[in-house]
Amino acid sequence: MSKRNLSIRVPILARVEGEGAMDLDIRDGAIEKLQLRIYEPPRFFEKFLEGRAYHEIPDVVARICGICPVAYQVSAVNAIESAFNMDPGPWVKAMRRLIYLGEWIESHALHIHLLALPDFFGYQSGIAMAKDHPAEVRRGLKLQNLGNEIMRCIGARSVHPVSIKVGGLHKAPDDAKLARLLRALEEALPEALEMCDWLASIPLPDDQQTFNCTALKAANYAVEDGILVSSTGLNLKPEQYDQHFTEFHQPQSTALWSHMDGEAYLVGPLARMNLTAQTMPAISQPVMHKFAHRFPSNNMFDSMLARGIEIVFAMQEAISILQGYSRPQHSFIESTPQESQGQGWSEAPRGLLWHHYELDRQGIVRKARLVPPTSQNQARIEQDLHRSLLNFGLDNSDDDIRLHCEKVIRNYDPCISCATHFLKLNTVRR
Amino acid sequence: MKIKIIGLGSPHGDDQAGWEVIRLLQQQTLPENVELLALDRPGLALPNYFDGADKVILIDACDAGWMLGEWQQFSLEQLLDCAGLQGGSSHQLGVADSLQLAAITGVELPAITVICVQIGQCGQMEAMSPELFTSSKRICNNIHYQLNYAAVPSGI
């Protein structure tokens, strides 16, 4: 290996959500500095929530992200309902799961086809890739639109939906719209399976690494709730999260980092598949079983196939919920605020999203904490960059090294705008 | 023939120009076959709003180095020839990206005219520049005239 010196600065990372950069310094043939730098200004959402009434929270937190607003809404209502000792019942849970599945489909299809895949085929953008693979990209956009349609049917609109409230849904969705949605999902399911076949056939870099995984687990593949499990043996309820997970500042990031028992960890589709694939009904079916041997995987680039499989699962699950749909007498239960605190979580498309609220007796938020998936993945992304670049080889050309690093980062589907929600301010008074 | 007129924008400064044109058109008497829509940064979903339309007129802000408030009308082909494509995150996908992607992947598009208006400041929740109010009136008058008195001319 040559003992060369090299500095690579990627001032604006393309094809990620939000504003981030990457700095790499190689000295005498060894990595001296390799950082994912998040410079998007903090957005102070936790402070905005203080003084707001509990019933306003689902609409405020939805604004954190245009790609995964449902994740924020569901984690919030889970936390508040836990604080108020409420159980909204199976119909509400099924509807929340359904709209959440729409968000998974929409988010995953977008990431696969426009953000991640161009890296694997050597294109600058999804648009450039579409010129050579029009049918595949059109199929991806169709699936993405179907995810949006689920969100529109349940949530009245696909971006920042407005149906979710503490105790249930403001209104039961329209039966005729749901019937049309069911037909559309059934018709499109074979195309999602074809997409999985295609994704599984794409050659990936051989990049084996060991890393910690964390995900929620439920009887039927966790989406809207579950118990936290990890590759290190954790088995936690939401209120135990703080005992093992710590947030801290790093100078290169306006988003907080997070460690699990002092170590970096992965959340998101690959972590879910690695830890809980056996709970996914879709994976045991003959058409999907051929992908099962790929998981658990130590190759982070298998995240793309994990997203594809989760799209198929989400469509099958949505079909199942819609087939069993019946209109309830009431779409929500009344809530009674009380002085309390509550924690709740769910599996956002990009991974675990934990919320904690302290409320006074009128149900006004006195303190809020939100821990989004991209924050949690930051330490893991930098760990991956180091290991993956060493596996790739520092003797490669500058352009190839830069591209490889960008590919590693994009593979996590980082949502930087979600992550930069909070900045701890240390004020010195003289 | 069903015509959809779609104003694109956001609540930020001059980026409201497309919405302002729609607001002004809503105060006019228009033929029954015309539908007005104001959309907030629809991104890749833009072509979904074309459903049922034979003709679509889009009004959007642009930064083309023209004089503040200057506006020009393009066919889809002209727009795709001259527009700089973003191709970045989904936050950055513009009208040209969305239409380009639809065209490449074989989505059936109606006849599309895009009216682009040069904007200046787009500060968060700022008011629109006076020049853009003037341009919006002129664009509205032009669309109104062509819809009512011209026999669907070449541009619109």
pLDDT tens readout for residues B13-27: 999 999 999 999 999
Q: What is the DSSP letter of A113?
A: I
State yes or no: A181 annotated in a binding site.
no
**A223: its two tokens:** 């989406």
In this model, does residue A169 exceed pLDDT 60?
yes
User: Residue B154's pLDDT is what?
Assistant: 46
Residues of B in contact with A68 (CB under 8 A): none
Residues 6+ apart with CB under 8 A from A424: A249, A256
Say yes or no: B85 contacts chain A, CB-CB below 8 A: yes
Binary contact (A125, B87; C-beta < 8 A): yes
Two tokens, residue B4: 């959809």
Q: Is A370 annotated as a binding residue?
A: yes
Question: Cβ of B101 and A137 within 8 Å?
Answer: yes
User: Taking CB atoms and an 8 Å cutoff, what residues of chain B touch A148?
Assistant: 45
CATH number for region B3-149: 3.40.50.1450
CB-count burial class (<10 Å; 0-12, 13-18, 19+) for B82 = exposed
Structure tokens at A79: 């936390």
Partner residue facing B97 (CB), from A127, A134, A137: A127
- Neighboring chain A residues of B104 at a CB cutoff of 8 Å: 127, 130-131, 134, 137
- What chain B residue is nearest to A148 in terms of C-alpha separation? B45
Give the nearest partner residue to A138 out of B90, B97, B105, using CB atoms: B105
Taken in order of first residue, the domains within chain A and their CATH numbers are 45-375 (1.10.645.10)
pLDDT digits (tens, 9 = 90+) for A279-324: 998 777 777 888 989 999 999 999 999 999 999 999 999 999 999 9
Whats the size of chain A, residue-wise? 430
- Res A347: pLDDT: 98
pLDDT at B150: 62
pLDDT at B87: 45
Judge whether B97 is closer than 8 Å to chain A, CB to CB: yes
Q: List residues of chain A with CB under 8 Å from any CB of chain B.
A: 14-18, 66-67, 110, 114-115, 124-128, 130-131, 134-135, 137-138, 141, 144-145, 148, 158, 417
Question: What residues in A contact B124, CB-CB < 8 Å?
Answer: none
pLDDT at A13: 67
Q: Who contacts A202 (Cβ-Cβ below 8 Å, separation ≥6)? A: A117, A120, A304
**CA–CA gap between residue A330 and residue A170 (Å, rounded):** 9
* Contact (CB, 8 A) for B131 and B71: no
Evaluate whether ipTM surpasses 0.85.
no
Q: Cβ separation of A110 and B90 shorter than 8 Å?
A: yes
Please indicate whether, in this complex, the C-beta atoms of B89 and A14 are within 8 angstroms of each other.
yes
Higher pLDDT, B156 or A43: A43
Q: Locate A34 and state its tokens.
A: 């390799």
pLDDT value at residue A98: 98
Residue-averaged pLDDT of chain A? 90
B152 has pLDDT over 80: no
Question: Taking 70 as the threshold, does the pLDDT of residue B126 lie above it?
Answer: yes
State the smallest CA–CA distance between residue B89 and chain A in angstroms. 4
Chain A residues lying within 8 Å of B101, measured CB to CB: 126-127, 130, 137, 141
Interface contact B44, partner A, CB < 8 A: yes
Q: Find chain B residues with C-beta within 8 A of A17's C-beta.
A: 89-91
Nearest CA in chain A to B97: A127
Contact criterion met (CB < 8 Å) for A114 and B90: yes
Nearest CA to B41 out of B130, B122, B155 is that of B122
Distance from CA of A176 to the nearest CA of B (A): 19
Confidence grade of residue A2 (pLDDT, cut at 50, 70, 90): low
pLDDT of res. A414:
83
Task: Grade residue B134 by pLDDT with cuts at 50, 70 and 90.
Answer: very high
CA-CA distance, B98 to B46, in Å (whole number)?
7
Rounded to whole angstroms, the Cα distance separating A164 from A174 reads 15
Which is more confident, A68 or B64?
A68
Q: A394 vs A309, which has greater pLDDT? A: A309
Size of interface A-B (CB pairs under 8 A): 57
Give the closest of A14, A115, A137 to B105, CB-based.
A137
What ranges do the domains of chain B cover?
3-149
pLDDT band at A252 (very low <50, low <70, confident <90, very high): confident
Q: Compare CB distances from A127 to B91, B100, B107 and report the shortest one's residue.
A: B100
Lowest mean pLDDT among A117-131, A399-413, B140-154: B140-154
Consult the annotation and say whether A415 binds a ligand.
yes
Given this model, what pLDDT does residue A36 score?
83
pLDDT in tens, B48-83: 899 999 999 999 998 888 999 999 999 998 888 776
Q: What is the mean pLDDT of chain B?
A: 86
